[in-house]
Chain A
Amino acid sequence: MDLLKRYIPVFCLLALVISVQLVTQFTETSFYLTQLTMSAYYSVVVIGLCVLMGYGGQISLGHAGFFAIGGYLAGALTTHNLLPFREHGLVVFLDRIGLLVAGKDLYGGNLLTVEPWAACIAAVLASGIIALAIGGPVLKLKGHYLAMATLGFGIIIYRIALASAYFGEADGISEVPGFMLLPGIEVSGSFRARTLNYYIAWGMVTCGVILLLNLIHSRVGRALRSIHGAEEAANAMGVNTARYKLYIFVLSAVFAAFAGVFMTHYNGGIGPSEAGIMKSVRYVAIVAVGGMANLWGALVMGIVLNFLSLRGVFGSYDDAVFGAILIIIMLFAPQGILKINLWQQVKQLLSHLTPALRKEETE
């Protein structure tokens, strides 16, 4: 019964995803699907961060960094030509075990690049390992120190992306090929594959949500909530808080990296703005608006706000809108806008208005 209750929203999500696609098809507004797909990938980052922030109580202002590690590595590995290094031992070895693919570039030249699957795994692994490496010392910090340390990490990644020729400096990486998940199922920005890609992205969101829902309701989830509530008390009860914090940090970094890889293949490129501080702040803003410890709230807000932002509704005030949202939510509704209990307030108002009713109840 409990399990059913947990999965009902997931089924609702799937039904919504399918109906939205059908509606856009019949009303011939399927151009919306492009932004919905991108919003879905951003939302994967958001739900990972939501579990880290809301349940684990650890802020991260560097998640755009993990997104960028995934996206940039996948982009660079599948785009940069390895033909000049054909004699190199490592390239020969990779070629022999079938991790390289030959192709043609735009001008008909020969290309030898890393197979997208291998690049994806390498990128996500790299992100996870980096998270593991910095997570140990970073998560010992609290409050401002944690915020600044993760911000510092984000800035370093941004600087590396901006300064190294391998990652295309200010131009980023472009002409990233599609990612053949299975025969016939390819993550790419091609016009014909729009509906397919919409479902790929939302499939990824659904998988992520199911995984995180199960995690929240497991031993790990309870441990995380105890850390958020009172870390010392959790420690005293025998919860290995350091390990659980690290675990969830790495998991959320892996989520961000997966989103980065898929987004890069979908867009056919990635630029340094994806690694910028504003992106990290934006993810935090969305989690805050959704209500910190509220996976569904974060998901809904992630879709709505990213969709509006990608459609250009906020115009040149894009960042300002996110800044304003952050302040207003934190000032007036630190539990997120979905937690403003309207019904409770209405009931209070009613009971004020009708003292007679209240008297009856007490009798």
Chain B
Amino acid sequence: MQYQPMTPELFIQYLFAGITYGIIYAIVAIGFNIIYNTTGIINFAQGEFVMLGGMIVITMHAFMPLPLAIAVAVLITMLVGALIEMVFIRWLQGPSVLRMIIITIGISILAREAALHIWGESVRTLPYFIGNEVTSIEILGARISPQVLWVIGVCSFMVAGLSLFFKFTSLGREMRACAANRRAATLCGINTKNMVTLSFVLSAGIGAMAGCVMSPITYSEYDMGPGLAIKGFTVAILGGLGNSVAAVAAGLLLGIIEAFSVSVLPLAFKDAIATSILLIILFVRPHGLFGSSEAASLKEF
């Protein structure tokens, strides 16, 4: 591999690549967090939502304009999320963690295999929202594709929208109540079962949205889910499980580390970096970089 000296332009280039991937990881991590907060389950099928969003929008784009296709893809994925919750999770009474892990792994396999039989093994891509592959904007001497700005913009908008939703709407407050104490929320008249369904719908929705905007840059294929899920989980752990604001910071951190690692390590090891970070964090600080260890000692790891 040829060594390239790090110029300021190259630095900005890597930085933007890192932020693009980082914010996608953060979205996956927030998807984990939403479901974890309301149910205590880690949904191993989280990456499949992103894959479904990307694949459906590409199919839909053949029949309708892009904004409509995105809307349809997100809605369908939300529906899938709701179905998954209602069919597989809603009626289980106090399932053990081991059981839930295995069920969500099974769901992720089924979703992947279904995608394989519907769309095949080929790598697909959505056209760029503005311009094409070579269109670029110059920022601080580096050339950035406008799609990168789309990804960053849409994902930031989703993060902001979610935090407003949880803070200021009645439904968001009910979901938080359910996360804080499920029994107390039930006693207050909140239908906690519906809140769980809603959490699956929400995290499917944001996952699908991320899948749509990232598709022109990163492509979509049927087996992209597990890789994204493990990185999203790394980010969720890095920020402290359940903490969505920290997840954004952790996501950016992981994305940037990965982007710069490419200049030092062979590309083949890029995926191993995230997993190594995951293992190190789990061993050293399972409550996350930003979590407090006192609060963590009350939780089970």
The residues of A with any CB-CB pair to B shorter than 8 Å are: 57, 59, 61, 134, 137-138, 140-145, 147-149, 151-153, 155-156, 159-160, 162-163, 277-278, 281, 284-285, 288, 316-317, 319-320, 322-327, 330-331, 334
A331 contacts across to B, CB distance below 8 A? 88, 92, 103
What is the bound-complex CA distance between A284 and B106, given in angstroms? Answer: 11
What is the bound-complex CA distance between A10 and B270, given in angstroms? Answer: 47
Q: Is the CB of A324 within 8 A of B268?
A: no
B266 to A, closest residue via Cβ: A163
Q: Is the CB of A149 within 8 A of B278?
A: yes
Is B239 among interface residues, defined by CB-CB distance under 8 A? no
> Distance in Å from the Cβ of B251 to the closest Cβ of chain A?
16
Q: Is the CB of A277 within 8 A of B110?
A: no
Q: Mark B36-49, 1 if CB is under 8 A from A, else 0.
A: 00000010000000
Q: Is the CB of A162 within 8 A of B109?
A: no
Q: Mark B270-281, 1 if CB is under 8 A from A, else 0.
A: 011001101100
Task: Return the contact of B226 from the options A149, A160, A163, A277 (Cβ within 8 A).
Answer: A277
A153 to B, closest residue via Cβ: B279
Task: Return the contact of B269 from the options A159, A278, A324, A327 (Cβ within 8 A).
Answer: A159
Q: Mark B2-39, 1 if CB is under 8 A from A, else 0.
A: 00000000000000000000000000000000000000
Q: Mark B247-261, 1 if CB is under 8 A from A, else 0.
A: 000000000000000
A143 contacts across to B, CB distance below 8 A? 97-98, 101, 300-301
Q: Is the CB of B271 within 8 A of A330?
A: no
Task: Return the contact of A156 from the options B92, B112, B272, B282 (Cβ within 8 A).
Answer: B272
Task: Return the contact of A148 from the options B42, B103, B110, B271 (Cβ within 8 A).
Answer: B42
B42 contacts across to A, CB distance below 8 A? 144, 147-148
B230 contacts across to A, CB distance below 8 A? 148, 151-152, 155
Between A and B, 27 residue pairs with Cβ closer than 8 Å are A138-B279, A138-B282, A138-B283, A142-B97, A143-B97, A144-B97, A145-B237, A147-B42, A148-B42, A148-B230, A152-B279, A155-B275, A159-B269, A159-B275, A162-B268, A281-B105, A281-B109, A288-B102, A316-B117, A320-B110, A323-B106, A323-B107, A327-B88, A330-B99, A330-B106, A331-B88, A334-B99
Contact A152:B275 (CB < 8 A) given known A141-B286, A141-B301: yes
What is the bound-complex CA distance between A57 and B108, given in angstroms? Answer: 23
What is the bound-complex CA distance between A285 and B101, given in angstroms? Answer: 12
The 9 closest A-B pairs by CB, nearest first: A323-B109, A163-B268, A326-B106, A320-B113, A327-B106, A137-B283, A143-B97, A152-B275, A144-B42
For this complex, into which size category does the number of interface residues on chain B fall?
35 or more
The residues of B with any CB-CB pair to A shorter than 8 Å are: 42, 88, 92, 96-99, 101-103, 105-110, 112-114, 117, 226, 230, 233, 237, 266, 268-269, 271-272, 275-276, 278-279, 282-283, 286, 300-301
Contact A155:B286 (CB < 8 A) given known A148-B233, A331-B92: no
A319 contacts across to B, CB distance below 8 A? 109, 112-113
B286 contacts across to A, CB distance below 8 A? 141, 145
B103 contacts across to A, CB distance below 8 A? 326-327, 330-331
What is the bound-complex CA distance between A317 and B101, given in angstroms? Answer: 22
What is the bound-complex CA distance between A143 and B44, given in angstroms? Answer: 13
A316 to B, closest residue via Cβ: B117
A137 contacts across to B, CB distance below 8 A? 282-283
Q: Is the CB of B109 within 8 A of A320?
A: yes
> Distance in Å from the Cβ of A339 to the closest Cβ of chain B?
14
Contact A152:B278 (CB < 8 A) given known A142-B301, A323-B113: yes
> Distance in Å from the Cβ of A321 to the closest Cβ of chain B?
9
B278 to A, closest residue via Cβ: A152
A163 contacts across to B, CB distance below 8 A? 266, 268-269, 272
Contact A323:B110 (CB < 8 A) given known A148-B230, A148-B233: yes
Q: Is the CB of A148 within 8 A of B278?
A: yes
What is the bound-complex CA distance between A162 and B269, given in angstroms? Answer: 9
B113 contacts across to A, CB distance below 8 A? 317, 319-320, 323
> Distance in Å from the Cβ of A155 to the closest Cβ of chain B?
5
What is the bound-complex CA distance between A148 and B43, given in angstroms? Answer: 11
A328 to B, closest residue via Cβ: B106
Q: Is the CB of A142 within 8 A of B300?
A: yes
B237 contacts across to A, CB distance below 8 A? 145, 148
Q: Is the CB of A147 within 8 A of B101?
A: yes
Task: Determine which residue in B113, B226, B230 has the highest number of CB atoms from chain A within 10 A of its CB, and name it.
Answer: B113
A330 contacts across to B, CB distance below 8 A? 99, 102-103, 106
A57 to B, closest residue via Cβ: B98
What is the bound-complex CA distance between A137 and B301, given in angstroms? Answer: 12
Beyond the given pairs A142-B301, A159-B268, 4 more chain A to chain B contacts, judged by CB atoms under 8 angstroms and listed by A's residue number, are A152-B230, A160-B272, A163-B268, A327-B103
What is the bound-complex CA distance between A42 and B42, given in angstroms? Answer: 29
Q: Is the CB of A149 within 8 A of B279?
A: yes
> Distance in Å from the Cβ of A271 to the closest Cβ of chain B?
16
Q: Is the CB of A156 within 8 A of B301?
A: no
B268 contacts across to A, CB distance below 8 A? 159, 162-163
Q: Is the CB of B275 within 8 A of A322?
A: no
B272 contacts across to A, CB distance below 8 A? 155-156, 159-160, 163
What is the bound-complex CA distance between A140 and B106, given in angstroms? Answer: 25
A140 contacts across to B, CB distance below 8 A? 283, 301
> Distance in Å from the Cβ of A293 to the closest Cβ of chain B?
12
Contact A59:B98 (CB < 8 A) given known A320-B110, A326-B106: yes
What is the bound-complex CA distance between A290 and B193, given in angstroms? Answer: 32
> Distance in Å from the Cβ of A307 to the closest Cβ of chain B?
20
